[in-house]
Amino acid sequence: MTASKKPQFYRRTLPETCISFCSTEGKAIFKEAMLSGHMDGYFPLAAQFRTQDEPAYCGLSTLVMVLNALEVDPGRVWKGPWRWYHENMLECCTPLDIVERQGITMEQFTCLALCNTLSTTTVYVDQNTNVETFRETVMRCTRSEDEFIAVSYSRKILRQTGSGHFSTIGGYHKGRDLLLILDTARFKYPPHWVPLPLLFDAMKEIDPETQRPRGYLVLAKASTQPQMMFQLNPVLGV
Amino acid sequence: MTASKKPQFYRRTLPETCISFCSTEGKAIFKEAMLSGHMDGYFPLAAQFRTQDEPAYCGLSTLVMVLNALEVDPGRVWKGPWRWYHENMLECCTPLDIVERQGITMEQFTCLALCNTLSTTTVYVDQNTNVETFRETVMRCTRSEDEFIAVSYSRKILRQTGSGHFSTIGGYHKGRDLLLILDTARFKYPPHWVPLPLLFDAMKEIDPETQRPRGYLVLAKASTQPQMMFQLNPVLGV
C-alpha cells in the first residue's frame, strides 16, 4: 500500500449508544444534569480539557487534565516561567517512548498518579464489583471539585472504533443514568453522554496486556495525611 | 541572575475585574447565561478548548479552537490517520519560528483564517466603532454554533499581567453584560467572565507592532458563495 492510499479520516461518527455533548439532546441533558447538581466537577475539568497529542496518550492526557484541574503544582517548570503539568512531564513510571507506542495500563496510570502526589483509589471491575458502588462513586464525585474519576474501558463495548481507552467523567444525569465522557481523542469523537451501565460493562473487559479487567480510579489531592489505596489484587473488588 | 533564580509561577491570581468560570459565582453566571440562550456557541468551543503550547501561540491556539469547533476539514493529515487542525499546521502566512517569538497581529490572524477557508469579518476597534455594535455581534454569535468571535485585546486593561492577547468568546450573560473568555493560557488564568465594556476598551489599545488598534474577528465556515470581509482600513469602523 502506498502512502497516499493509507486510510485517513475526518473524525468518526458517534454510534447510537452515545449522545454528542454538542447536539441539541446533549445540551438538554447537560442543562438538566447541571440543575440537579451533578455538574460541579465539570467546570474545573472542562477548563483543562485537552486533545491527546499521540494516538496512545489517552491515559497521560486524562491524568494531565486531572492534575491541572486539581491544581497540583508540579514543583518544576513546564515552559517559560510556568509550573504546569504536560504529558511530557509524566515519565516517572514508564519511558515516554514506550507509552507512545503502547499506551499505559491501569497499573501504570496508578503509578503515575501516585508519583505525582495524588491520593488514588484504583478499582478493577471484576465479578465482585457492582454497578451500584460505581454509581455511588459517580454521584459523589460529580457533585465535587475535589475528586475526579478516570475510567479505563473498551471502546468496542460502546460500539466505538478502537480498543482500550482512558477518559475522565465530566458529569452525570441521574434521571437518565447517563455519564459525560470527556474523550481526549477529540480528533475522533466529541465529548459524549453514555449509559452508566454500558460504561460499567466496558470496564469489565480483560486487558490483553495485563490479563486483568479494566476499571476506574478515583483521584484527589493528597491530604496532609495521605490515604492512598491501591487495590493490587483485582479479585478483591471494592 | 542564575537560572535557579529566574522567576517562576504556579498560575496568577485573577484580578477583581474577572470572575473565574470555576468559582461559585462563575457557575451561577454560566447557569443563568445558559438558561437565557446565550451559551449555544459554548458547547462546540468548549469541546475544543486548548492550552497554548508556546507563550506567544495565543492567536494560533485560538484559531485552532475555532477551526475544529466549526469542523473545518483541513484536507491533510495531522497525525496517524487523522485530518485535524493543530497549531503546527498554520504556517501559510508567517513562519512558525517567527510566530513563536513574536505572536501574530490581527492582520496575520485574518490571513491565517482566510488561508484556512474561513469566512472572516475583521473589525478594528477605533473611534468609529461602538460598543453597541460589538454587543449585538456577541449576542448573535453566542446564540449560534456557526459563528465564533476571536478577540485581540490588551490584558493590561483587564488588570491582568501581560500585554496583547487573543481569546475566543464562549458565552454571554445579558443581565450582567458579562462575556466568557476562553483563555488558552490555562497555565496562567482559568476561563473567566469579564464586563463587555471593559473588554471593548481593552480592544481599543494601539498594538505597538502595527500602530493600529486591536479588535475582533467574526469567523464562520465559508459558504459556497463566500462573503469575506477584510476591513483593511482601521478608520472605517464597521
Averaged in consecutive runs of 10 residues, what is the pLDDT profile of chain B (238 residues)?
Answer: 75 97 98 97 98 94 98 96 96 91 95 96 95 98 97 98 97 98 98 98 95 97 58 37
A78/B8 Cβ within 8 A? no
**Per-residue model confidence (pLDDT) at position A2:** 52
Residue A72 has pLDDT above 90, yes or no: yes
Rounded distance between C-alpha atoms, residue B206 and residue B204, angstroms: 6
Mean pLDDT within A150-158: 98
CB A103 within 8 A of CB A56: yes
Residue A110 has pLDDT above 70, yes or no: yes
Mean pLDDT within A8-30: 97
Q: Regarding beta strands A215-221 and A147-154, do their DSSP bridges make them parallel or antiparallel, or are they unpaired?
A: antiparallel
Rounded distance between C-alpha atoms, residue B211 and residue B148, angstroms: 26
The pLDDT tens digits of the residues spanning A49-66 come to 999 999 899 999 999 999
Residue A224 has pLDDT above 60, yes or no: no
CB A215 within 8 A of CB A203: yes
* Catalytic positions of B: 58, 165, 183
B21/A43 Cβ within 8 A? yes
- Residue B27 CB contacts under 8 Å (≥ 6 apart), including other chains: A40, A43, B21
Mean pLDDT within A214-225: 86
Q: Collapsing DSSP states into helix, strand and coil, what is residue B179?
A: strand
H-run or E-run covering B171: strand B164-173
Hey, what's the cell of A171?
458529569
Choose between A232 and A100: higher pLDDT: A100
Whole-number mean pLDDT of chain A? 92
Phi, psi of B89 (to 5 degrees): -95, 0
Residues of A in contact with B44 (CB under 8 A): 22, 190
Q: Collapsing DSSP states into helix, strand and coil, what is residue A76?
A: coil
**Per-residue model confidence (pLDDT) at position A51:** 97
Residue A160 has pLDDT above 70, yes or no: yes
CB A142 within 8 A of CB A169: yes
The pLDDT tens digits of the residues spanning B90-128 come to 998 899 999 999 999 999 999 999 999 999 999 999 999
- Residue A92 CB contacts under 8 Å (≥ 6 apart), including other chains: A111, A112, A115, A116
CATH match for A18-231 among 3.10.20.30, 3.90.70.30, 1.10.645.10, 3.10.20.90 = 3.90.70.30
**Per-residue model confidence (pLDDT) at position A93:** 87
**Per-residue model confidence (pLDDT) at position B6:** 87
**Per-residue model confidence (pLDDT) at position B80:** 92
Residue A236 has pLDDT above 90, yes or no: no
CB A182 within 8 A of CB A170: yes
Question: For residue B67, what is the nearest residue in chain A, using CA coordinates?
Answer: A187
A35/B190 Cβ within 8 A? no
Residue A1 has pLDDT above 90, yes or no: no
Query: How far away is chain B from the Cα of A236, in angstroms, using its nearest Cα?
Result: 37
Question: For residue B8, what is the nearest residue in chain A, using CA coordinates?
Answer: A81
Looking at the DSSP bridge assignments, the partners of residue A164 are A154
Q: Collapsing DSSP states into helix, strand and coil, what is residue B134?
A: helix
Q: Which of B44, B83, B186 sits opposite A48 (nearest CB)?
A: B186
Q: Is A165 a catalytic residue?
A: yes
The pLDDT tens digits of the residues spanning A174-184 come to 999 999 999 99
Q: How many CB pairs under 8 A join A and B?
A: 94
CB B149 within 8 A of CB B131: no
Identify the CATH class of B19-236: alpha beta
| Burial zone of A175 (CB within 10 Å; 0-12 exposed, 13-18 middle, 19+ buried) | exposed
